[in-house]
Amino acid sequence: MSGGDDSNPVNSTDKPRRTSRPRSIKRKKHEDPDATEPILPTKLIVTERLTRRVRRSPNPKQTLLPQTTWSAKDDLKLVLAVQQCCDLAMVHKCVKFSQKHTYQEIEERWYQLLYIPEISNPATAAIANLTLEEKSAIERKALWSSKEEAILQQVEASSQPKIDFFASLLHQHPLIFYPARTPRDLMIQWERLRQYSLLADQSVQPQNLAESVLNFSDVEEQMTDEELLSEQPDPVLQSEMRKIDRRHKLEIRKLEDEIKHWHTMVGGPDNGPFSFDLDNETYAALRGRLVRYLMRSKEITLGRATPTHQVDVDFSLEGPAWKISLKQGIIKFHGGEFFLWNFGKRPIYIDGHPVIQGCHTKLHHQCVIEICSLKFIFLINQNMTETKPDKLTNHSGPSTSGGGGVPGGPHGGK
């Protein structure tokens, strides 16, 4: 058997088997086995790769420009001011920018406009894009140079120059005055110089502060009591004072009359915490911190008074009562005893015990009634209750305990 026979099993077993591995590159479905790929020169391939790499890599010379708050108008103001006075300190004091800048910021911005093209070129383009009205408004407010002020100072202060004189002055010196100046601008600047005595024919006399200014002690020594007492009173002032005094007295009398009117229902403050002086027509009293409510009928309503709703006891006179209901409850004298019914949403506390809505309780002498941080002391006129006992024994009030009569317990209805 020849060695080239492929059917030999020994030769077939000696060949290593090829294991299947996942390929990362997929071939095309219709691939021509006879077709050969074009061979490109090695230099071309390297050049193409380098070109792509250079495009993707950032430029190492590219620098990030600092963010600035200077606008085109501010740059124009800075340039004009420096050209006029040639002094950055004067620019910092006299020019008003859109934002407040320090002297170091102004100096740094001027350096950038001079020596950094990446900043100066966009700033110059932004200034060129300004409208004619914006440029003229900024140029008219440019600082005055020393040469311009020197020409204006030669005009005499005693003369009264007109607008035509400044127009001729502007025509005689076209190279000194800024092109945006008008005769009216020159006239206003000349008047400003004359006001501060800066013209050539004006002079300011220095004041002797030692002689002109006096201390308070020196003035006090020069004044005498006789001079003060010898002054005659002003008759106009005296008449006005009398009118004001008479008006105040009328107001006091009116208030006194109103106090008497209020005493018919509300009493004034007492001397002691439980002392009171009630007449024979008063059953009891509710004494608060500021006012005292008098109970002159067998039944009174408690609550908050409004223009359309009136109650016998208005808690708003004692303090803040906006949380109290319009009709918070009633106090009734029945069978020689006093009872309180609560009709409002807020509970009423009797000596610390709550009486909720729809419930009632008995009141005793000197008990504390509290509603929405307002505290009152219930004072009973013992003489009145003994001489005029209640005869309406069959009268019944509202109750939540289910019975028709008036409860007698301290916290009935609960």
The number of C-alpha atoms within 13 Å of 74 and in the hemisphere containing its C-beta is 16
Q: Is 93 helix (H, G, I), strand (E, B) or coil?
A: helix
Report the pLDDT value the prediction gives residue 401, as an integer from 0 to 100.
33
Report the pLDDT value the prediction gives residue 17, as an integer from 0 to 100.
61
List, in sequence order, every beta strand (DSSP E) within 335-400.
Answer: 337-342, 348-350, 353-355, 360-363, 367-371, 374-380
In angstroms, the CA 176 to CA 213 distance is 44
Other beta carbons less than 10 A from residue 119's beta carbon: 19
According to DSSP, the β-strands at 327-334 and 292-295 are unpaired
Q: Is 342 helix (H, G, I), strand (E, B) or coil?
A: strand
| Element containing residue 327 per DSSP (H, E) | strand 327-334
Report the pLDDT value the prediction gives residue 394, as an integer from 0 to 100.
38
Strands laid side by side in the 299-303 sheet: 313-314, 299-303, 327-334, 337-342, 360-363
| Element containing residue 110 per DSSP (H, E) | helix 103-115
pLDDT per residue, tens digit, the chain (414 aa), is 444 444 454 454 555 565 555 555 555 555 555 555 555 444 444 445 544 554 554 554 444 555 678 899 999 999 999 988 888 998 998 888 988 889 999 999 999 999 999 999 999 999 999 999 999 989 888 889 888 989 998 888 888 888 999 999 989 998 899 888 999 999 999 998 888 888 888 876 665 655 556 677 777 777 776 666 666 778 888 889 999 999 999 999 888 877 766 655 554 444 444 445 677 788 898 888 888 888 888 999 999 988 898 898 998 888 888 889 999 999 999 888 899 999 999 999 998 899 999 999 999 888 999 998 899 999 988 877 665 554 433 333 333 333 333 333 333 333
Asked whether the beta carbons of 183 and 190 are under 8 A apart, the reply is no
Output DSSP code: residue 218.
Answer: H
Other beta carbons less than 10 A from residue 358's beta carbon: 13
- Is the alpha carbon torsion for 199, 201, 202, 208 positive or negative? positive
Other beta carbons less than 10 A from residue 243's beta carbon: 10
Which residue's structure tokens are 């009935």?
412
